[in-house]
Amino acid sequence: MNEHRRPLMDRTLPLLTGGYAWLPDRMRESSDRVVRTRLLGRPALAVRGPQAVRFFYDEAHVRRHGAIPGPVLDTLFGQGAVHTLDARAHRTRKELFLPLLAPARVAGLTEQVTAAWDDAVRTWGERERVVLFDEAGVVLTRGVCRWAGLPAGTGTQPLARDLVAMVDGFATPGPRHFRARRARHRQEARLARLVQDVRSGTVTAPADSVLDRVSRHRDTRDEPLDPRTAAVELLNVLRPTAAVSWFVAFAAHALHRWPAHRERLRAGDGAFATAFAHEVRRFYPFAPFLGGRTVRDLTWHGESVPAGGLLLLDVYGQNHDEELWGDPYAFRPQRFLDRPPGPDELIPQGGGDPRTGHRCPGEPITIGLLESLATRLARLDYQVPDQDLTIPLRRVPTRPRSGFAITGVRAP
């Protein structure tokens, strides 16, 4: 087809400097929501829209093995993580994460996190200034460690800092990236020792807890995970749960800019809390796009990419696509009260089926945590002092620059 139409310049550098806007800007030039480009030295095709989601998640089209750059594995996901597996190896490893979808597990984690939140809030009144992003990271880490069965007394604050650092530094060269690498190295080593202690019986993991399941999990060769890989997968539960702190800071930002939403949250309107959580995840930027290696020559809407290239799913662009959302740059939770999102429409945590594909198994947890924490935020009495609340789109992952500081907290 037309893949040899013109030489493509590698766009890795513009991507690193352009951030969230890079792909949507290129998409704007296309009438068919498809962009041919070159990334990491490979030809690439970027697509968007619910049909494109199904195209992207078809295993006959895309494999994950070898798709994720080393610097992202060494910071965000970990070498050998579930994210990098395909076919039977993926489904076998994914079983480890499927219990996370169960409503009872979601409720259990939400209970632990909200208890940690309520404890923390009682101390905020004594402090001159509280940075919500930082505090939420600690609260979420405390809650998820208890829920996952980690032994008490494993210094929550340093762990929270490391979990947040792993996410903060994955997409950037420089000091943030090296902090992320060090954080991962430290925590993988520590948690690998913990898994060994569980296996040797020195530490008891509560039955059926995440720690217990990771320690006992057997892969396709019916062997336990090596301790380092077990630590990687344990971190694949702890780290993204701590990362909900990004959405907590965004929720605070939304309540500050559009305070009218406070009332329905305060009143405990559950359907509205769900809609609010969806709108926070749609409106605010987090994952810019997803990528996989093409297993054969592929054509989408007349544009082609050869086998061995990259297929990219424009996550941020799709969550702001005018055709899907009508008024994508309006923060309007009501849109999800009028109509719940189709599974391949709202894709901040990927698309398709989390049971068989790579979609995030932590989506119900994220929604549950956001519903509860946004409601608690709406009920909290605080002031928002002068600070830099801009959310720079060139920074990945981004957040309000100040981390969202509050003062004069009065717990309910």
C-alpha to C-alpha distance for 401 and 103, rounded to whole angstroms: 34
Could you say whether residue 287 binds ligand HEM (CB under 6 A)?
yes
C-alpha to C-alpha distance for 172 and 297, rounded to whole angstroms: 31
Consult the annotation and say whether 145 binds a ligand: no
* Beta strands, E only, 70-214: 130-131
Could you say whether residue 243 binds ligand HEM (CB under 6 A)?
yes
Q: How far is the CB of 291 from ligand HEM (least distance, A)?
A: 9
Q: Which of 133, 250, 272, 286 binds ligand HEM (CB under 6 A)?
A: 286
- CA 377 to centroid of chain Cα atoms: 21
* Interacting residues with ligand HEM between 349 and 388 (CB under 6 A): 349-350, 358-362, 365-366
Closer CB to ligand HEM, residue 140 or residue 275?
Answer: 140
Place of tokens 């947040």: 164
CB 55 within 8 A of CB 61: yes
CB 323 within 8 A of CB 32: no
Q: Where are the alpha helices (DSSP H) in 201-226?
A: 210-216
C-alpha to C-alpha distance for 225 and 228, rounded to whole angstroms: 8
CB 85 within 8 A of CB 356: no
Closer CB to ligand HEM, residue 312 or residue 409?
Answer: 312
Could you say whether residue 247 binds ligand HEM (CB under 6 A)?
yes
Closer CB to ligand HEM, residue 236 or residue 409?
Answer: 236
C-alpha to C-alpha distance for 91 and 220, rounded to whole angstroms: 9
DSSP state of 74: I
Closer CB to ligand HEM, residue 37 or residue 349?
Answer: 349
Q: Which range binds ligand HEM by CB under 6 A, 117-125, 128-136, 240-248, 387-395?
A: 240-248
Q: Which of 19, 78, 137, 240 binds ligand HEM (CB under 6 A)?
A: 240
Using CB positions, name the residue nearest to ligand HEM: 362
Closer CB to ligand HEM, residue 161 or residue 358?
Answer: 358
- Ramachandran bin of 398, using left for φ above 0, alpha for ψ from -120 to 50, beta for the remaining angles: beta
- Per the annotation, binding residues are 360
Known binding-site residue numbers for heme? 360
**Rule CB under 6 A: which residues touch ligand HEM?**
82-83, 94, 97, 100, 236-237, 240-241, 243-244, 246-247, 286-287, 290, 348-350, 358-362, 365-366
